[in-house]
Chain A
Amino acid sequence: MTWDWGAVRAFMPHFFDGLLVTLQALALGSLISFALGLVWALLMRTPTRWVRWPVGVVTEFIRDTPLLVQLFFLFYVLPEWGLAFSALTTGVVAIGLHYSTYTMQVYRAGIDAVPPGQWEAATALSLPPRRTWTAVILPQAIRRVVPALGNYVIAMLKDTPMLMTITVLDMLGEARLFSQQHFQFTEPLTVIGVAFVLISYPASLLLRALERRLAR
């Protein structure tokens, strides 16, 4: 086994380009998944099953099928329908949509965990439904679920390399490009592998600390 530090040094500028793209995709994907997940969770609480049932089926379908194939679907099918986005945008939408079906369950658990007394108090004060949600239920529910949402951000980080398959030059994309140009596979792939551990492990420690603080 040979390890070439020169290759690592040569790869580093590409690595930071890739890191930037990865973090961009992660930030935008998280925002989409947080917002959309909340929408799904609220739709699942509407009184009519004509809304609940389709939403339940669609989100279950998205959750149980591979993100990779969903990426291909969006990347190749949307242009056929006349919606041409950049590869990064498509990837961000796909990741956000996929993970919104996970965050939706997190929100649901958070909403269910709000004590029934809070609902009753809102009714007793005859708050309109909108105020009940925005001023009473959601602030308490979302506070509880922040660590769980953070876990999905870490999970999302680990799924961003898939964007490489639709030509986005994220960390893995840069590493693959570099290895094909210089025929050195070991160094770039190991560097990004280590980088992922170095990002996600401290992040998970941070979340654990946050969880302990919020639990108190």
Chain B
Amino acid sequence: MTTGLWELVLKGVWTTLQLLVFGALLATAVSFAVGIARTHRRWIVRFLAGFYTEVFRGTSALIMIFWVFFVLPLAFGWQLVPMWAGTLALGLTYGAYGAEIVRGALNSVDPAQREGGIALSFTPWQRMRKILLPQAVPETIPSFCNLLVELLKGTALVSVMGMGDLAFSGNLVRLALQESAQIYAYVLIIYFLIAFLLTRLMRSLERRLKARVGKAPRPGVSAPLPVGGGVS
């Protein structure tokens, strides 16, 4: 491969990373907002949040991307920049999966903690911010780690829309060189390396967060491996 083609691949890596970061930020915001809304007192809030999760978890990410790229401009006259359209589709889809993670973690906090907050006459918001979330968030990290890897894999979907991410530049190089095996092997390895780094980062984040609420892992006892990906 020539230097010019490598530059193309690097540009693709950069686009993929940008999409990953923006998508992850939006997905985190969505998952906390919707996940917390699913534990709300009013049924209508719970229902709307549940509806959102089921719809976005029910469709495929690729269909969402098609929808955002083709239907949104025609139906509502919103023509988004490709980067934001991709971020929006990925963030909303993976946010719905994240909402389930947040909900599960909130539900797994010992009920006595909640009752303690009520007894101390905390407002619902104080209870959430000072008691429930600090204990729930460290529990979410392993699942969010899986979801982040799923999101990374999801970013490849925007290449179908002609966005110049890593998978797309891989296709371009294949057209230039006609050596499919080599270039796709490189692309897969780069994706794997990014996923590997993400996993490492999330693991250290988990250790740090758990230490803050007094749940540092005992030496010699490794955490059980999470089963499967976040997307199911």
Q: Which residues of A contact B (CB under 8 A)?
A: 1, 61, 63-70, 72-73, 76-77, 80-81, 102, 105-106, 108-109, 148, 151-152, 154-155, 157-162, 164-165, 172, 175-176, 179, 185-186, 189-190, 192-193, 196-197, 200-201
Contact = CB atoms under 8 A, between A and B. Distances in A.
B58 A201 contact: yes
The 5 closest A-B pairs by CB, nearest first: A197-B58, A66-B156, A64-B195, A76-B180, A151-B232
A105 B227 contact: yes
Interface of B: 54-55, 57-64, 66-67, 70-71, 74-76, 149, 152-157, 159-160, 167, 170-171, 174, 180-181, 184-185, 187-188, 191-192, 195-196, 225, 227-229, 231-232
Nearest to B232: A151
A68 B63 contact: no
Contacts of A105: 225, 227-228
A165 B185 CA distance: 18
B67 A193 contact: yes
B180 A80 contact: yes
B55 A61 contact: no
B62 A67 contact: no
B60 A158 contact: yes
A161 B228 CA distance: 21
A106 B226 CA distance: 10
Given A67-B153, A73-B181, A185-B71, 13 more contacts: A61-B188, A61-B192, A66-B152, A66-B156, A68-B160, A69-B170, A70-B188, A72-B171, A106-B227, A148-B228, A151-B232, A158-B59, A158-B60
B184 A76 contact: yes
A56 to B, nearest CB: 11
Contact of B184 (A63, A73, A106, A157): A73
Prevailing SS type, chain A contact patch: helix
Contacts, number: 134
Contacts of B225: 105
Contacts of A106: 227-228
B191 A161 contact: no
Contact of A65 (B54, B58, B192, B227): B192
A63 B229 contact: yes
Contacts of A67: 153
A66 B63 CA distance: 16
Given A102-B229, A152-B228, A66 B59 contact: no
A157 B231 CA distance: 12
Contacts of A176: 66
A148 B60 contact: no
